[in-house]
Amino acid sequence: MKLWRSVVVICFLATACGGGDIPTPDPVVETPNYDACLPEVGESTLEVVTWNIENFPVHTNTAVAVKTIIEDTDVDVIALQEITSKSEFNALVDALDGWSGHVEDYAGSQWVGYMYKTSEVTVLTQPENLFPESSNDDYNFAFTSVRRPLYMKFQHINGLTVNIINVHMKCCNGSEDRRRSGAVLLKDYIDTNLPNENVILLGDFNDEIVDQADNVYQNFIDDNANYKFATMPIAQGPSSEWSYPSWPSQIDQILITNELFTKATETLVLKLDNCQTTFESQVSDHRPVMIRLNNN
C-alpha cells in the first residue's frame, strides 16, 4: 500500500451577522481521507487512468487538489482531457516529484494531454497527433481542432509495452455522426498501423456504449475478437458506479485490443467525490477511470 497524504482545503471565513454576543464561526476545514476511494497499486502492474479534468483548473483550489490526488493514487499514466491552461498544467507537472507530462500546443481550449511517472514508465514514442488539423476533411468533421487523438507509447518496468490513444470525442446530442466517423477513423488507424500491438484507446467518448439502438461505437463492439471495452461491465452496472455522476452516465471509456485481454485484471471508477465533498465544484465533474494490467 502507498502512504496516503491529505490535502487541507480552507474555505473562506463567513461573516457573522447580528449582535456582538454571537461568536464568529471557525473556518470550515475539510481534510479529505481518500483511503476508501483509492485503489491499491504496486510496481508489478501498470495502472493507466483516463480523466476528464473539467476545464482545468476550474477553481483556485483545483491544482492543489489534483496534485494531492495524483500523489495519493500513485498510478503510472494519466490521460487527461479538458486542459484549458497550459501554464497551470505545466506548473502542476513541475510540482510533482518524479512526474513528467505533455499537453498539445494548439490555439483554442480544452486540450488533451498526458502525465506519467518517470520511475515506472519510459516513453518510447513522443506525443503524436494522429489526425492533424486541416489535413483531411474527414478528420475535421470527426474531431474538433484542439481535441485530436493524442498517441504515445510507453514501457512499464514490468516489461509491458502499451500504445495509448487519448481521445475527447465531440459532445452532445446532434453530434452522433461525428462521433461515429471518429470511431471509424480510429479503428481503421489501429487496424492498419498497430495490428499486432498492445493498444489502449481511452478518454471521454461522450456517448454510451450499451442499450442503444444506434450505438456510434458499434464497430468496435462488433469486432469482439479484436476489441473489448474494459469499461463495459461498469456501463452495464448501477449508475452509482459511473464516471459522470451529474448526468448520470458512463461516457469515460477504456477500450483495449485482444493482445491485452488476458493482461487487464481490473477496471474501476475512482469515486473520489465520496471522499471529498468539494470534488465536483472544485476539481472535476468527471471521476477518473483506471485499468490495471500485468505482464504475465
- How does pLDDT run across 156-192, given as a tens digit for each residue? 999 999 999 999 999 988 789 999 999 999 999 999 9
Residue 295 has a pLDDT of: 96
Residue 137 has a pLDDT of: 84
Which one is predicted more confidently, 13 or 80?
80
Which one is predicted more confidently, 245 or 4?
245
Residue 220 · residue 183 · CB < 8 Å = yes
DSSP H/E element including 138: helix 137-142
Q: Going along 13-120, which residue ranges are E strands?
A: 29-30, 46-56, 77-83, 99-103, 111-117
pLDDT band at 35; cut points 50, 70, 90 = confident
What is the pLDDT of the chain when averaged over all its residues? Answer: 88
Residue 9 has a pLDDT of: 38
Distance CA 81, CA 167 (A): 8
Query: What does the pLDDT average to over 33-52?
Result: 92
Does residue 2 surpass a pLDDT of 50?
A: no
Which one is predicted more confidently, 189 or 110?
189
pLDDT band at 134; cut points 50, 70, 90 = low
Q: Is 135 exposed, middle or buried (0-12, 13-18, 19+ CB in 10 A)?
A: exposed
Cell of 143: 474531431
Peptide bond into 248 cis (omega under 30): yes
Instruction: Name, in order, each residue with C-beta under 8 angstroms of 154's C-beta and a sequence gap of 6 or more.
Output: 76, 77, 116, 121, 122, 123, 124, 161, 162, 164
Does residue 107 surpass a pLDDT of 80?
A: no
Instruction: Name, in order, each residue with C-beta under 8 angstroms of 128's C-beta and a sequence gap of 6 or more.
Output: 150, 151, 152
Residue 136 has a pLDDT of: 80
Distance CA 106, CA 271 (A): 31
Residue 56 has a pLDDT of: 96
Q: What is the pLDDT of residues 214-273, one digit of tens each?
A: 899 999 999 999 999 999 999 999 999 999 998 899 999 999 999 999 999 999 999 999
Least confident range from 33-42, 97-106, 184-193: namely 33-42
Q: Going along 188-288, which residue ranges are E strands?
A: 199-204, 227-229, 252-257, 264-269
Closest CA to 99 of 128, 78, 129, 127: 78
pLDDT band at 5; cut points 50, 70, 90 = very low
Residue 206 has a pLDDT of: 95
* Structure letter (DSSP) for residue 208: -
Query: What does the pLDDT average to over 56-72?
Result: 94
Distance CA 103, CA 144 (A): 16
Does residue 110 surpass a pLDDT of 70?
A: yes
Q: What percentage of residues in the chain have a pLDDT greater than 70?
A: 88
Residue 135 has a pLDDT of: 65
Phi/psi of residue 117, nearest 5 degrees: -85, 115
Distance CA 282, CA 99 (A): 23
Distance CA 154, CA 198 (A): 10
Angle between helices 62-73 and 86-95 (to 10 degrees): 40
